[in-house]
Structure 1
């Protein structure tokens, strides 16, 4: 855990969230589905989606590279093609894929940053969506185009759509990190504001207790 702390700066979050418009192109899904999203450090992205109603599980991990080097020590060098990502398992009867994307772009990241997010820099911190199928890719591309056309951010969205990428769960000490370490300096500066934005901007979508990978409340 000490190695992970040493690789992360403690600069404060750069921009407050905003409640973005609903997607014009929506998803039609049934049964439990997965969405894989990358928005910088996976601690905060996981922490946000663990509090979203309809999410059954959110797992921190690595996407976009090979299995052989899908481990923190290698990914943190920036040379493995992975992004720190979160695989979200959700019930589309409660929340659709396009609605997850709306929350993602509203509170989880600044999608105009290229190969960085807040104090963390490198391609492993890129903003990316890893669609599970052509339907998810279509919805994601349409929503990005919709936000860009509206000049939502004043700068083009840099979020990449990377299909056909495998996902590899991260080490156990990265799971449930935000829930288990709410007073950690990095969490307090960069990730707690994202959770506050979720609760403020999407109260109807928020659950009070996180859905934990470990299946138990944080100590």
Structure 2
């Protein structure tokens, strides 16, 4: 689990040369294009995605054209427990999440959903993703507007009916509460720690899958916070 790899930031960096590189992302699914496309006004928009370890979620969205920033943090609990150490107990209500700011003229919300469920999160898993277990690693969509909520609800129904996944879709839409930015060493983690064992094994393959499945959305450079 990621919490075993990183009880402290020093321990995480110490592991940077460990672990074999993965050759392919796990559970990659070419999710269907949304039938209900997002109709968003011009200007930057914001949405929150929870999909397991926030390093990979942030890393993928940081390579998507039109995304202006992807910030790792905690959503679903309160300020007093919005720390890495406390959320890793799995009892604070928080999920590791990423706040994404994007330009809908370049990439729409429904396109972000498609990317998210294709290469980032397995929507059939409950309270876990990849090697990580616990409610803090749940997959969830947190819309910040009525339009996003309508698009997300329609897309989850479409996914369930698509037959692309062999198990039921369990990802939920959560009401936005407050997003708490994670500690500084979690920000831009993939680009700052490219040889970290966890990044090499679990997250770099997700970026490679993004490039392979959605080349028109892929940006080679990593947008930093």
Same fold at TM > 0.5: yes
User: How many angstroms apart in 2 are the aligned matches of 1:145 and 1:27?
Assistant: 15
SS in 2 for 1:203: coil
- The match for 1:114 is 126
- The match for 1:45 is 57
- The match for 2:39 is 28
- The match for 1:185 is 197
1:24-103 to structure 2, matched below 5 A, reads: 24-30=35-41, 31-103=43-115
Pairwise CA distance, 1:165: 2.1
- The match for 2:3 is none
Q: Does 1:130 align with 2:135?
A: no
Q: Does 1:157 align with 2:169?
A: yes
Q: Which runs of 5+ in 1 are unaligned?
A: 214-219
Q: Does 1:3 align with 2:8?
A: yes
Q: Which runs of 5+ in 2 are unaligned?
A: 1-5
User: How many angstroms apart in 2 are the aligned matches of 1:185 and 1:15?
Assistant: 16
RMSD (Å), alpha carbons: 1.8
- The match for 1:216 is none
Q: How many residues align?
A: 211
Q: Does 1:141 align with 2:133?
A: no
- The match for 1:15 is 26
* TM-score calculated relative to the size of structure 1: 0.91
User: How many angstroms apart in 1 are the aligned matches of 2:40 and 2:198?
Assistant: 36
* TM-score calculated relative to the size of structure 2: 0.89
- The match for 1:207 is 219
Pairwise CA distance, 1:109: 1.5
User: How many angstroms apart in 2 are the aligned matches of 1:158 and 1:166?
Assistant: 23
